[in-house]
Structure 1
Amino acid sequence: MSITITHSAKSAAEDRTQPLGNFKLAAGVTLAVLALMVFWRIFQQVYAWSAGLDSTEPAFDAAWMTLLKVELSVIPLLWVVTWAYLWFTRDRNLGALKPREELRRYFNLVLFNFVYAFCVWFATSFFAEQDASWHQVVVRDTSFTPSHIVLFYGTMPLYVLFGVGSFLYAMTRLPKFATQISIPFVLAVVGPFLILPNLGYNEWGHAFFLMEEVFSYPLHWGFVVMGWSVLALGGLLIQIAMHMLEVIGRLSQEDQASVATQR
């Protein structure tokens, strides 16, 4: 009996030494995303005016279409690799999940959503405003403009990577999200994702009607409405906080029972 108690106490002590969340990974990914955003901005600064005004010029193809091809190759590949990893490494026995490990996973989910929100902020504020400024002064002769190639085919597919990834993480590693659908979570992920299909409607409008650049026109409404849906992350954070409080309560009861058993 004493051997069992000693082993249990040792295991619990080792469990407590593990960090509550993978903060180093989250910090590394955030810095990598920031570096990528800075690269895109510098690329625009260098090549927008020198090679981005005439889509029939060889310089446009060399700079901007090359960047587009890289984005359309690398980011979907990251989708497949990341989402497949999250699915195939899922926890198949969530019923046996220990409270402390569940608490760690909630922290990881918050960090996952922080990176997602970081990407969305860059896409829908900084690069979206920049896109508006560009099209107010430059008449487009193609749908693949310098601002669009970065905004619609770079930053937005990138935040989809983290948005869907965080949703998969929650569904495959946390009992509450595995058995129930979180409406705020769905809104926060699906809303910004639907900006990509809305892009087709936007380009159709610009191809047939001269509106450079009136943002009150209906073809731009989808960007605003679906972009604002990311604010549902606030509701999701409240849900996560409630779940974490419930887990902390169970963890406290478990610790009290462990102390009583050792006595």
Structure 2
Amino acid sequence: MSINQTVSRGAVESARRPFALRTFMIGGGVLAAILIALRLYEQAFGWSTGLDSFSDEYRLYWNNLLVFSIPAAALAAIAVAGYMWRTRDRDMDAITPAEELRRYHVLAQWLALYGLALFIALSFFTEQTAVWHMTAVRDSDFTPSNIVTFYIAYPMFVVFGIAAYAYAATRLPFFAKGFSLPFMILLVGTFMTIPNVGFNEWGHTFWVLDEIFASPLHWGFAFFGWMALGCFGVALQILSRMRELMGPECVAVITSRRK
């Protein structure tokens, strides 16, 4: 019996009622709260205490933030991955088509959060760092903008990426059977923007590059950032499996709602 033939009343009922957006709403709220708080913190203390890295005020407001943010990001990644593993589905063969469809909807929410965090980090905060370099003469690689961008905003999208991959690997049979190449490109590729920060700051120490943003030293950010295009491969894998799960009966229900 094919998968299409096993789609029962539960899959049809799942198509008729909207899926919950609980994961996206909670994750989006946490993401927005952290990013807004960071931006307000920069506004309040960036120029007043962040221009002299040898001052006591800098050590209080910015060095302490750096020291806190690095282990916090590592602990958050471990906690998310650990939670997903601890609560994993231990009997995936018993998953109904309706439940698997629901889980794909949750996975899509995790991916949306990952994409949102990635976009904000690689666009808004990265460009903010570029503006800082053009307007302030820095005496340290750990400027206020660098601390917020490279050591908080970047690790944040990695945490969401780990959450998305761990959710898929522990709750969906398709991703649990092996490694998804597009998913690995998406996750590992964008993660490599963080090690590239070390190479970038090493280059800034030896060359004056604050106003030469097209220099080869910065190409790594573009190269690894564009690996986010792996999301299209992940989307194709998800849609292919969803098509198998839904079958003609469920598709007919969905299309009938649009008429």
TM-score, L = length of structure 1: 0.86
Deviates most, 230-239 or 243-252? 243-252
Corresponding letter in the other structure for 1:174: L
Output the CA distance in 1 between the equivalents of 2:222 and 2:151. Answer: 18
> Counterpart of 1:184 in 2: which secondary structure?
helix
Match of 2:162 in 1: 164
Output the CA distance in 1 between the equivalents of 2:18 and 2:88. Answer: 19
- Report how far residue 251 of structure 1 moved: 7.9
- Report how far residue 98 of structure 1 moved: 1.1
| CA-based RMSD | 2.4
Deviates most, 88-97 or 194-203? 88-97
1:244 equivalent among 228, 242, 245: 242
Match of 2:92 in 1: 94
Match of 1:220 in 2: 218
> Counterpart of 2:54 in 1: which secondary structure?
coil
- Report how far residue 94 of structure 1 moved: 1.4
Residue by residue over 1:163-202, the C-alpha shift from the partner in whole angstroms, topping out at 9 and shown as x without a partner, is: 0111111111111111233222111111110011111111
Gaps of 5+ in 1: 1-8, 254-263
Output the CA distance in 2 between the equivalents of 1:88 and 1:251. Answer: 35
Match of 2:35 in 1: 37
Match of 2:184 in 1: 186
Higher relative contact order (CA 8 A, sep 6+): 2
Deviates most, 70-79 or 36-45? 70-79
Residue by residue over 1:220-261, the C-alpha shift from the partner in whole angstroms, topping out at 9 and shown as x without a partner, is: 1111111121122122112211211111129859xxxxxxxx
Match of 1:259 in 2: none
Output the CA distance in 1 between the equivalents of 2:180 and 2:29. Answer: 29
Q: Percent identity?
A: 39
> Counterpart of 2:112 in 1: which secondary structure?
helix
Aligned length: 244
Output the CA distance in 2 between the equivalents of 1:251 and 1:203. Answer: 57
Residue by residue over 1:147-170, the C-alpha shift from the partner in whole angstroms, topping out at 9 and shown as x without a partner, is: 110011101111110101111111
- Report how far residue 139 of structure 1 moved: 2.0
Match of 1:116 in 2: 114
Match of 1:261 in 2: none
Match of 1:199 in 2: 197
Q: Is the 8 A contact 2:183 2:231 kept in 1?
A: yes
TM-score, L = length of structure 2: 0.87
> Counterpart of 1:197 in 2: which secondary structure?
helix
Q: Provide closer, same or farther for how the CA distance between residues 108 and 237 of structure 1 changes in structure 2, counting only shifts above 3 A.
A: same
Counting only pairs closer than 5 Å after superposition, residues 67-82 of structure 1 correspond to structure 2 as 67-82=65-80
Output the CA distance in 1 between the equivalents of 2:46 and 2:134. Answer: 14
- Report how far residue 73 of structure 1 moved: 3.2
